């Protein structure tokens, strides 16, 4: 019985749940008129600033579950399955859930601030947040060579993706950078007890930077609606 419970606890069930929700939403998009329809995307929660200014603040979170086209959901779904499972095992279930949602929020907020005219959707803000969390591991656990080696790979992957974003039209680079920074800060604020202890001043400082930066972007972007 104890072994069975341990196996269940070690499974990345938050990742599986997030993936199931994402796939279910994509199925509803497809049945509702197609995942590339602007009307369908807005109906299911894509980020669009005029609707956020009208009071639909949940659109700073819901875009992480909405995708545009089959290739978009395939790439993000596969990345979530593998990278999410690894991140969840390192940070733990509830920390991973917070990391995913908070970095999705900061990514969509940055997208809203610096890509105001566009419509945005996709889990990539949260996926980049997970890569930002690996930068925290790389920086915060310098005495753990295995963790640093693993973290370096994902930090390099994030850097390469951001460079590629500069040359690919239509990619929301601001959302990616915002998610990466948010993931780095929330990972420091939450800590990673499965790996080791994180100094309290760094945790407090990161939380302050996350809250202050998000508040500043909200005021800058939606000040008139607050």
Which active-site residues does the annotation give? 124, 176
Burial level of 130, CB count in 10 A (0-12/13-18/19+)?
buried
Produce one character per residue of 159-196: b if its CB has 16 or more CB atoms within 10 Å, e if not: eebbeebeeeeebbbbbbbbbbbbbbbbbbbbbbeebe
Q: How far apart are CA 199 and CA 188, in angstroms?
A: 9
Specify the residue for token string 């369908």: 40
Q: How far apart are CA 11 and CA 173, in angstroms?
A: 32
């Amino acid at each position: 019985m104890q072994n069975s419970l341990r196996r269940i606890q070690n499974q990345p069930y938050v990742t599986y749940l997030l993936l199931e929700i994402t796939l279910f939403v994509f199925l509803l998009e497809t049945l509702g008129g197609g995942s590339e329809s602007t009307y369908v995307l807005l109906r299911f929660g894509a980020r669009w600033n005029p609707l956020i200014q009208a009071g639909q603040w949940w659109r700073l979170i819901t875009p992480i579950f909405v995708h545009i086209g089959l290739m978009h959901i395939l790439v993000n779904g596969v990345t979530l399955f593998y990278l999410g499972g690894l991140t969840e095992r390192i940070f733990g279930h509830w920390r991973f859930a917070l990391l995913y949602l908070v970095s999705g929020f900061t990514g969509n907020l940055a997208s809203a601030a610096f890509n105001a005219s566009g419509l945005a959707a996709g889990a990539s803000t949260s996926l980049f947040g997970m890569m930002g969390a690996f930068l925290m591991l790389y920086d915060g656990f310098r005495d753990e060579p295995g963790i640093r080696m693993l973290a370096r790979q994902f930090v390099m992957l994030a850097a390469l993706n951001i460079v590629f974003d500069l040359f690919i039209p239509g990619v929301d680079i601001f959302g990616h950078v915002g998610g990466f920074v948010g993931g780095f800060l929330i990972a420091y604020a939450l800590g990673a007890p499965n790996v080791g202890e994180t100094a309290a001043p760094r945790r407090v400082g990161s939380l302050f930077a996350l809250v202050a930066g998000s508040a500043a972007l909200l005021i800058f972007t939606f000040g008139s609606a607050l």
